[in-house]
Every structure is written in C-alpha cells, then in structure tokens.
Structure 1
C-alpha cells in the first residue's frame, strides 16, 4: 500500500462487490481524515477488522458475515444496515446510530455500545457477551435467542423482546423497562419493575429496574 494509506491500515479482505471495493480503495489511498461513505453498498464477507470508521456513513449498507473485530464506529450512521452474522467482537459502537439495523446472529462480545441508538433492531440470536450497553437506547429490539451473559447495562431504555432462549447469566446494571417476554407457548407478556428483576435473577443475572422520572413517559 502507498504511504498515503489511511493510518497505515488496510482491510485483510476486500468485499466481493466491486463498487464497494473501489470506494474503500479510494478512501484509503486519499490519505485524508475524511469519513467513509458506503451508503447502500455491499461490504458482505469483507474483513475490516481494526478499521477506524468514526463518523462514517453505512446507512442501508450490507455487512453480512463481515469481520469487524475491534473496528471503530464512533458516531457513525449505520441506520438500516445489515450486520447479519458479522463479527464485531470488541468493536466500538459508541454514540452510533443503528436504528432499523439488523444484527441477526451477529457477534458483539465485549463491544462498547455506550450511548448508541438501537430503535427497531433485529438482534435475534446475537451474542453480546460482556458488552458494555450503557446509556444506550434499546427500543423495539428483538433479543430472542440472544446471549447477554455478563453484559453491563446502565440507565438504558431497554424495551426489548426476549424469550426462554435469551441468556442473561451474569447480566448486571440498571435499566428502564418494560420488557416483552415470549413464553414457550409463543404468548407475549410485558414485565417491568420487580417482576423484571426477578425474571433476570431467576436466570442468573442481577439488574435494577429504574422508575421513570417525573414527566418521563413510556414510548
């Protein structure tokens, strides 16, 4: 790679889609601090581990089965992006916008999700073991079959859907509920407060459900 390559980083494997590869190469070879714009492009199966994509644009892009280990997405906009099966182990999603995104079967073990936004997100079957989900907004997030073992929560909006396959062993911290629970008969129940605390405790976790502040309404 030329000396102008962005921060001397290069993908371990480029996307198979030629348009996405061309965009990445142009961005790297510019040597600039500018943001990457891959809106609507297909970066599936690429290995972009360790890349710094701070404040970049991934809206409606496809990153299916991509390797993004340790990647930096600080303040990036990935609204509507598809991360199905992607590996985001130890990635930073701090203050990113992931509304309407898909993380089905993705790995976010140890990921930093502080103050990130997740509205209407499909994270079913995802692994978030040890993730830091602090001050984040999780609203209408599908966590059925997800693994939240030893994840840390702090004052999150946590209006998620879980089921008997959702793992919460070692889950700790504070949340605002309520949570939708789908039982073995596929019936949906809404639980919050002490009932939600008990549900988590019975499965090996320990959380505190915070009351809504005066004037704060559930959405």
Structure 2
C-alpha cells in the first residue's frame, strides 16, 4: 500500500525494493517489514521509519544520520559500524541489537527497550538515553559525565570504566551492574537503585551523594546493625 509519492506503507520490502524507493527520494516508511533483510551499507540518511520491523536485519555500515525510528521493532538487528549521528529512536524495541563501532554522536533513545544491546567501541559524544531499559547492556567505557540520567534501568549492565562523574540519576537502577573502574565522584545517586553493589566496589562511590537508606544498606553489608 502506498499512501503518496513520499510515503510507503504496510508492505514487506527486500533490499532491492528499498533501494528503488530510496532512488525515487522516498524517505518515509510506515508499517513496513524488513525482517532478516541484509541492508548493509545503504544510504538511509534522513529517513523516517514508523512502526516498521527489522527483526534480525543487518544494517552494517549503513548511513543513518538524522534518521527517525518511531515505535519500530528491531530485536536482534545488527547496526555495527553504522553512522547514526543525530539519529532519533523513540518507543522502539531494540533488544539484543549490536552497535559495535557505530557512530552515535548526538543520537537519542527515548522510551526504548535495549536489553542485552552491545555498544562496544561506539563513538557516543552527546548521546542521550531517557526512560529506557538497558538491562544487561554492554556499555563499557561510556562517558555520562554531567549528564542527567532519567529512568534508565542499567541492572546487570556491563559498565566497566564508565564515567558518571557529576551525573544526576533520576530513578532507574544500577542493581547488580558490573562497575569495575567506573567513576562516580560528584554523582547524585539518591534517586537510583544501587542494591547488589559489591562491597569491593563501594570505594568507587567516594565523593558521590547517596541517601540515608543507601548508606544503611552499605553498613548492613559490613555487618553493622542499623537501627
């Protein structure tokens, strides 16, 4: 079904068909299916994908700058080495996606499911996450310095070497996250769940702001009776 010359809606597209529409300057796809398609290295710059599915699709090294992804489902998709600078993802299911070596400067993820996603070696200056699930995600080495982290569930996430200095956590969770060599000086952790933090990691919170109840939790782990 085609709404007009600029929007393709409600059909399944393979690589060749997508390339044809792109060559005709179509940049809006609504309710289309790209499941398991190999879309490697395509130029998708400026495209809007709304309620589309990319389950298991390969978008290796795609040009995705300034794209918009609205309520899309792309579980297990590979975005490795993609250029997604200034891309916008809202309300998307991106569980178990691969972003290794992608360019994600100034990209934003709002209301997204990113459980198990891998962001290894990405370029992420100015990236923004909000109200998103990042349970078990690999975000090693990320810098969130001075950022406001609103409702991010980072439970069980791999956060080794992350920089959270002067960050403000508004809700969300760091429960059982791997925090080896992470930096929290000046961070405000009062609004987040830090249960399950290993006592060996407690030292990295030196200089961070925590609540009375969070401090009591640390003391209980040390064997003190807090009354």
Q: TM-score, normalised by structure 1?
A: 0.70
Query: Cα offset for 1:24?
Result: 4.2
Deviates more, 1:102-111 or 1:166-175: 166-175
The structure with the largest strand share of the pair is 1
Does 2:71 align with 1:71? no
Q: CA deviation at 1:200?
A: 7.2
Given candidates 174, 178, 181, the residue that maps to 1:180 is 178
Question: Structure 1: which 5+ residue stretches go unaligned?
Answer: 9-18, 185-189, 213-219
Superposition deviation, residue 150 in structure 1: 5.4
* Equivalent residues of 1:5, 1:28 under 8 A apart: no
Alpha-carbon distance in structure 2 between the residues aligned to 1:7 and 1:26? 9
- Specify the alignment match of 1:98 in structure 2: 94
State the Cα deviation string for residues 46-83 of structure 1 (Å, max 9, x = none). Answer: 12111011111111001111111110111011110000
CA distance in 1, matches of 2:145, 2:210: 16
Note closer, same or farther for the CA distance 1:28–1:77 as it changes in structure 2 (3 Å cut): farther
Distance in structure 2 (CA, Å) of the matches to 1:151 and 1:67: 27
CA contact under 8 A between 1:129 and 1:148: conserved in structure 2?
no
Q: State how far apart, in whole Å, the 1-side matches of 2:164 and 2:178 are.
A: 15
1:122 aligns with 2:118: yes
Contact 2:29 2:50 survives alignment (8 Å):
no
**In the alignment, is the contact (CA less than 8 A) between 2:57 and 2:77 conserved in 1?**
yes
In 2 relative to 1, CA 7–122 (structure 1 residues): closer, same or farther, beyond 3 Å? same
- 1:141 aligns with one of 112, 137, 140: 137
For residues 28-107 of structure 1, the aligned pairs below 5 Å read 34-107=30-103
Instruction: Number of aligned residue pairs: give it.
Output: 186
- For residues 53 and 125 of structure 1, the distance between their equivalents in structure 2, rounded to whole angstroms, comes to 26
Residues 114-140 of structure 1: CA distance to partner in whole angstroms, max 9, x if unpaired? 110011111111233222211111100
Which ranges in structure 2 are unaligned for 5 or more consecutive residues? 9-13, 183-195, 215-227
Relative to 1, partners in 2 of residues 1:33 and 1:81: Cα closer, same or farther, differing over 3 Å? closer
Task: With the length of structure 2 as denominator, give the TM-score of the two structures.
Answer: 0.68
Alpha carbons of 1:113 and 1:152: their partners in 2 closer, same or farther (altered >3 Å)?
Answer: farther
Q: Which residue of 1 aligns with 2:159?
A: 162
Which is further off, 107-116 or 123-132? 123-132
Deviation at 1:161, TM superposition (A): 0.6
For residue 98 of structure 1, report the CA deviation from its aligned partner. 0.2
Query: Pairwise CA RMSD of aligned residues?
Result: 3.5
